[in-house]
């Protein structure tokens, strides 16, 4: 029976491209566990975040993702749900939480993986439903090939 694979991930996005108020680059580390379900499928669980200051302003982002994935050759595809709690005073966000569906596609090279992670945030407040995609790139270092 295959055992668990542990990962250290780095997620990054470029919010400054769509909003000049925001930093051009934003990234955070995450610790993850992959549990193989069979030869080519697995469960993913990741928790990560970052906390830093710009002047007197603290920015905090915590994120978790739990999903289901599969390997096709050296390609990896996954989907699931992400939960994000953020404190970004510049955007009037104070300890607020959001849910997203994430889709992920990446390429494996021995212990290293990388690709695109696309969380699509589901915003349903005051009777209105909308979505906010937040594309990211990621690289991952795993304990297993």
In the complex, the residues that contact other proteins under the rule CB under 8 A are: 1-4, 33, 35, 37-38, 43, 45, 47, 51, 60-62, 64-68, 80-87, 95-99, 122, 124-125
Gyration radius of the chain over CA positions:
16
Least distance to other proteins, CB of residue 30, Å: 12
Q: Write out the two tokens for 80.
A: 């699931």
N-to-C CA span, the chain: 15
Closest distance to other proteins from the beta carbon of 91 (Å): 12
Nearer Cβ to other proteins (1/20): 1
Closer residue to other proteins (CB): 73 or 129: 129
Distance CA 95, CA 84 (A): 10
Question: Do the beta carbons of residue 93 and residue 118 sit within 8 Å?
Answer: no
Nearer CB in complex with other proteins: 49/114 = 49
Smallest distance, other proteins to C-beta of residue 145, A: 17
Instruction: Judge contact between 71 and 37, C-beta under 8 A.
Output: no
């Amino acid at each position: 029976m295959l055992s668990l694979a542990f990962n250290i991930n780095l997620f990054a996005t470029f919010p400054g491209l769509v909003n000049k108020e925001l930093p051009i680059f934003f990234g955070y580390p995450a610790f993850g566990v992959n549990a193989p379900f069979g030869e080519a499928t697995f469960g993913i669980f990741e928790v990560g975040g970052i906390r830093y200051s710009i002047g007197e302003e603290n920015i905090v982002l915590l994120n978790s993702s739990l999903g289901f994935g599969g390997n096709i050759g050296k390609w990896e595809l996954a989907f699931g749900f992400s939960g994000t709690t953020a404190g970004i005073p510049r955007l009037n966000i104070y300890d607020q939480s959001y849910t997203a569906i994430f889709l992920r596609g990446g390429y494996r090279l021995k212990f290293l993986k990388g690709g695109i992670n696309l969380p699509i945030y589901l915003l349903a407040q005051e009777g209105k439903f909308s979505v906010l995609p937040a594309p990211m790139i990621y690289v991952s270092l795993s304990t297993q090939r």
